[in-house]
Amino acid sequence: MNLPAGFDAIVRRCRSVCVLTGAGVSAESGVATFRGADGLWNKFRPEELANVEAFLANPKMVWEWYAYRRQLLSDVKPNEAHRALARLEALVPDMLVATQNVDGLHQLAGSTKVVEIHGNIRKNHCQTCKKPVEIVLTEHDGPPLCPSCGGMVRPSVVWFGEMLPREAFGSAERAARHCDLFLSIGTSGIVHPAASLPFTAKNSGAYLLEIDPEPTLLSSYADGVVRAPATVGVSAVVGAFEHQRNPS
């Protein structure tokens, strides 16, 4: 796997890494994409289900869609890309993974410095009072009611049209502004404001590396591009750090 020319020098002086991951980093773990082969939900677009109006108009249907996605995730495991990013934490003084994924796989792989800018599909909170609510998912075939206020319980993911969690996105923006190296991995760069983070980093002087098998909206702006699946590309990048920090 060839890394971009001059990348060794970037690795040598790198003290701070900010990573943005999207659905592509989990693809090789078998995480279903929204438009996967299973026909059940194919007649809906995610934008039609993942928004508060849909939930209020048809709570049971939206709940069922999340139950289906949660079930698909129940025995999914992190892949080599998640694991390599977890190892990178020990190799640079400062690192943050900002993920758009709601699957929790970075943490399962051992990453400790992760912000979930689109929430976490395994968690729930009350739509009305916003308090977190612990439930046993299998016991409910529609949204349960909040024990505090009687409002409807919903998955703790960010829906289209909703604000991103302020603290998580603020941390991601700070990391993007201060990093030496920004890795954009498996994200099409379409969903904003997450897609602004690579631009923030580059405009603040970071080297911007994209890892994605397909060209994205970011490609022409990146300083370097690794056209490979995440397991291959991320392993190569982290391998360069391992080689430079602990040459054997």
Q: Using CB under 6 A, which of 154, 229, 235, 241 touches ligand NAD?
A: 229
Q: Which residue is nearest to ligand NAD (CB)?
A: 24
Give the residues across from 155 on adjacent strands.
Answer: 124
Element counts in the chain: helices (H) and strands (E): 10, 8
Residue 239 site contact among ligand NAD, Zn ion, none (CB < 5 to 8 Å, cut-off depends on kind): none
Q: Closer CB to ligand NAD, residue 45 or residue 243?
A: 45
Class of residue 161 by CB neighbours under 10 A (exposed 0-12, middle 13-18, buried 19+): exposed
Q: Smallest gap, in angstroms, from Cβ of residue 151 to Zn ion? A: 4
Residue 124 site contact among ligand NAD, Zn ion, none (CB < 5 to 8 Å, cut-off depends on kind): none
Q: Is 79 in the site for ligand NAD (CB under 6 A)?
A: no
Query: Which residues are part of the catalytic machinery?
Result: 118
Q: Closer CB to ligand NAD, residue 51 or residue 128?
A: 51
Give the residues across from 94 on adjacent strands.
Answer: 16
Answer whether 85's CB lies under 8 Å from 19's CB: yes
Answer whether 66's CB lies under 8 Å from 41's CB: no
Q: Using CB under 6 A, which of 33, 58, 148, 244 touches ligand NAD?
A: 33
Kindly report whether the peptide bond that precedes residue 193 is cis, defined as omega within 30 degrees of 0.
Answer: yes
Tokens of 246: 């602990």
DSSP per residue, 46-68 = HHHHSSHHHHHH-HHHHHHHHHH
Print the binding letters for residues 171-200 with ligand NAD: x by CB under 6 A, - otherwise.
---------------xxx-xx---------
Q: Is 148 in the site for Zn ion (CB under 5 A)?
A: yes
Q: Is 214 in the site for ligand NAD (CB under 6 A)?
A: yes
* Alpha carbon distances (Å) from 65 to 54, 115, 191: 11, 24, 21
Q: Closer CB to Zn ion, residue 25 or residue 126?
A: 126
Reported residue count of the chain is 248
Residues that bind Zn ion (CB under 5 A): 126, 128-129, 146, 148-149, 151
Residues that bind ligand NAD (CB under 6 A): 22-24, 26-28, 31, 33-34, 100-103, 118, 186-188, 190-191, 212-214, 216, 229-230
